[in-house]
Amino acid sequence: MTALSKLSLLLRRFRRRIRPKAYKEYYIQEALDSLGRRVYLEIGVRLGDSFRYIKSREKIGVDPCRTKPMLKLRSGELFFEMTSDDFFRGPGVQLFATKKVDVCLVDGLHSFGQALADVLNAAKVLRSDGVIVLDDVYPDTPDKASPTAHGRAWNGDVWKTMALLRFAQPDWEVYSLPADEGVGIIKTHGCAARAIAAEDVARYGNLPYEALASDPAIIGLTR
C-alpha cells in the first residue's frame, strides 16, 4: 500500500466515524442487523476495510488478490482467493447448499458486465428477504464513469447494471442511495431473476454517461 493510499484509507475511516450514513458500510450493517447478522458475502475485498468493519456471525470474502491485511483470518471469516465467477461455480456451490446469504456486497471489478454477473449469481444464493449492495453506482463525472480503469478516482460503469435491473427485473426492488458515490440496493423478495435478452444487455451497456447525468432516476436514485 502506498503512503497516499494509506492516508486515503485513514481519512475514510475517520470520516465514517463522524458521518456513518455517508458510507455504504452503514447500510450493509443496518440490513445485517435486521436479518440477524448471520451470513455476509463480500465480492471484491481488497484491503479488507469494509470486510473487517462489518459485524456478522459468518463473513465470506472473495477476491483474486489476497492482500496482507487478509492473510490472517479471524473467527467466523472465510476467504477465497479467486475470481467471483470461479467462486460461484466452484466452492460457492457447496458452501451455499445448506445456507443462504443475508447481505452481499458486490464491489469487485467495476464494469457493467462483471457487476451484472456478480449480482445475478449473488441473487441465486440470497435468502428471500436478503439484500445485495452494489458499490459506486453514481459517478459524478464522465471520467469516473469510464468503462476502462485508469489511475485516477474510478467508479466504472456499474451504474448501467442498476439501470438494466430496474428494467429487466420488475419483481425486484432496485434503487440507489446518494451516499458513498452511490449505494445500490437490490432486494429480490425471493423472486428468481428473469432471463435478460442479449439485445437489452447490449442496449444498456451502450448507454452514454449523459443518460445518468440527465436522469438519475434511471438507477432509482432517491434524494
87-96 per-residue burial string, b: 16 or more CB within 10 A, e: under 16: bbeeebeebb
Predicted confidence (pLDDT) per residue in 1-17, tens digit: 666 677 778 888 888 88
Residue ranges of domains in the chain, CATH in brackets:
19-219 (3.40.50.150)
Give the mean pLDDT of the chain.
94
Q: pTM of the entire structure?
A: 0.94
Ranges of residues in the chain with a pLDDT under 50 are: none
Q: What is the pLDDT of residue 31?
A: 98
- The 10s digit of each residue's pLDDT in 158-205 is 999 999 999 999 999 999 999 999 999 999 999 999 999 999 999 999
Residue-level pLDDT at 65: 95
Amino acid at the residue 194: R
Cβ neighbors of 126 (< 8 A, separation 6 or more) are: 100, 101, 104, 132, 188
